[in-house]
Structure 1
Amino acid sequence: MTNPVRNAPAGFHEGELAVQRQAGVAQDAARLTGMLAPAQLRGGVSRFLAERSFAAITARDADGGLWISPLTGPPGFLQIASPTALDVRTLPAEGDPLLYLAVHQPVALIVVEFATRRRLRVNGTLSAADRDGLRIDVEQAYGNCPQYIQSRHLHAAPVTAPGVEPVRRGSILTPDDADLIGRSDTFLIGTTHLTRGNDASHRGGPPGFVRVEDGRLWWPDYWGNNMFNTLGNLNVDPTAALLFCDFATGRTLHLSGRAALEWTRTGIPGDDDRTGRRVHFLPQHLVAGRLLPLQADTVAAAPDNPPLTDRPSAQ
């Protein structure tokens, strides 16, 4: 595994700029460059982190595989150690592919408050890890818009005892895996860049917005903030990781593989938000289990979810 060069120049990298230009939003995106400035964990960012109970981390396992995994705890498990350091007072669950994390590697967090549709990205370097948790030296921290976040009130749920429901590892999606993906209205995606490190992001839409065909996945890209952090990374490195969570049961599906951006004709079936973009994903490794100790009893769909356009009911 090659570690990215840290302290790269601020601003958008070549992959992000290329996607912005092809999408015709380069000028709009340029106005957001200041969001990528070095982070200071103060004020509203500090308060937001202190109150959260859910995050997801993008990192590499001992074999160099990229994964994105849930991190959960009571409010306060994300603790500001300094204006540029964040302590995470928990670890991934037993059986999670990122349970044992090597330090001095780039990592990224996406911290989500589903109930109020708020999210924050945190990018940096893992500087310490022990049985009590992680420390991240933070380089970037910025919020994203509430678009496509389904509203849920998460609460603590019993954790399945080790061995009662074994964690399954493999490389091929089962019918149960495909069913979970097909029912999902949310997933988290991790990507990477050689010099800028890792990224963690949220994707949401109506159930069925992620399609499963012949063991592969694809989903339409939606209109967003025009930064294209995820697609920009994929433009230069296809390595990607997905996390699907069944918030009713705590079941999780981790996928690690390769993704590619496809530009299509605008408005074809499946181009649900009429962007002319979709992402294809080939799973290469998977981990499935019941690794999320949080549940939600109800869900309210995001008001901006576009309808599916490749189903009979949408005709």
Structure 2
Amino acid sequence: MAADVYHQGERAAQRRAGLLDQGAFSSRAVRAEIPEVARKFLLAQPMLVLGAADDQGRMWATVLTGRPGFLRAEDDRTLTIDARPAPDDPLHDRLTGPAQVGMLAIEPGRHRRMRMNGRAAPTGSGLRVDLDQVYSNCPKYIQKRQPEWAAATAAPPKHSSALTPDQQKWIAGADTFFIATADLDGDADASHRGGAPGFVEVVSPTVLRWPDYVGNAMFNTLGNLEVQPRAGLLFCDWSTGAVLHLTGTARTDWDPAHAAAVPGAERLVEFTATEVVEIAGAVPLRWSAPVPSRFNPPVT
């Protein structure tokens, strides 16, 4: 079954981690249809993380929002999204036409998340996605937050090739971010990473490093990085609605000695940014102060 679900990069990552058997077990959760419980979950969500490549092949992660009901399963294999990226969003132009997308519906208040991958096409009000994969993930490392709607007017984007001191401080204090990757065929994936504030290390204005904690052994993100290093990161300011998009490349450091120096790390991931886009007021949601996940390892 794993041979049907996983591509060569994911299986390579599972072998390097010594978790082929666990990965094969986890593959049973992957399906092409949206189950009934997932339909109800989607209808209640106000936010969706989406990852895709732009017209230059660079990976980006972004966030779409709407009142509950803006995500709808039209049938077992089709998701309708009543939203598209705003004009200044890095993925706006790409999603005016067909695109391979990875998506993550996440509910921090109830520690739930669901991943969906497929092929998107624009509609009059948003996107229609024909799904290839649908599966839930374990709730580890999700910080509990509750959303509220707020008036929001997006500011003009700030573009740079490196992180400013304020952006470095933002990332160094983050407890959550999202990452978009893709395989050699362009099939995209969007995933969540969480930990105690400080779990993302700002090595330099262009380099970040974070621990890869124990998970479900699917290795979707790290498997993509085994064959395709392009990646996009998204950091959200939960109190102001600002977003920070980064695109660049990432690699996995499989050296156990390096991981041993970081509490809870199974391995490390290093990301090098080539472009940064900050947009204040991009998201009309404000979130409560977090209740940290009990699974978060300590940060030294």
TM range (shorter): over 0.9
2:49 maps to which of 56, 67, 70? 56
Which residue number in structure 2 is paired with residue 79 of structure 1?
Answer: 72
Which residue number in structure 1 is paired with residue 14 of structure 2?
Answer: 20
Shift of residue 94, structure 1, vs aligned partner: 3.8
1:1-315 equivalent positions in 2, closer than 5 A: 10-37=4-31, 39-100=32-93, 101-126=95-120, 128-160=121-153, 165-195=155-185, 197-215=187-205, 216-266=207-257, 270-275=261-266, 277-290=267-280, 291-309=282-300
Shift of residue 18, structure 1, vs aligned partner: 1.1
User: CA–CA distance in 1 between the matches of 2:65 and 2:260?
Assistant: 37
Shift of residue 217, structure 1, vs aligned partner: 0.3
Answer yes or no: is the 8 Å Cα contact 1:257–1:284 preserved in 2: yes
Structure richer in helix, relative to its length:
2
User: CA–CA distance in 2 between the matches of 1:143 and 1:103?
Assistant: 28
Answer yes or no: is the 8 Å Cα contact 1:62–1:102 preserved in 2: no
User: TM-score, normalization: structure 1?
Assistant: 0.90
Amino acid at match of 2:131: V
* CA gap 1:268/1:110 in 2 versus in 1, 3 angstroms: closer
Amino acid at match of 1:35: A
Task: Name the Cα RMSD after superposition.
Answer: 1.6
Answer yes or no: is the 8 Å Cα contact 2:211–2:259 preserved in 1: no
% of aligned pairs identical?
41
User: TM-score, normalization: structure 2?
Assistant: 0.94
* CA gap 1:195/1:30 in 2 versus in 1, 3 angstroms: same
Shift of residue 285, structure 1, vs aligned partner: 1.0
Give CA-to-partner distance per residue, 1:51-74, whole Å, 9 cap, x none: 111111111223332111001111
Amino acid at match of 2:72: Q
Unaligned runs of 5+ in 1: 1-8, 310-315
Answer yes or no: is the 8 Å Cα contact 2:52–2:101 preserved in 1: yes
Amino acid at match of 2:219: F
Answer yes or no: is the 8 Å Cα contact 2:108–2:143 preserved in 1: yes
Unaligned runs of 5+ in 2: none
SS in 1 for 2:5: coil
Aligned length: 295
Which residue number in structure 2 is paired with residue 4 of structure 1?
Answer: none
Deviates more, 1:63-72 or 1:246-255: 63-72
SS in 2 for 1:152: coil
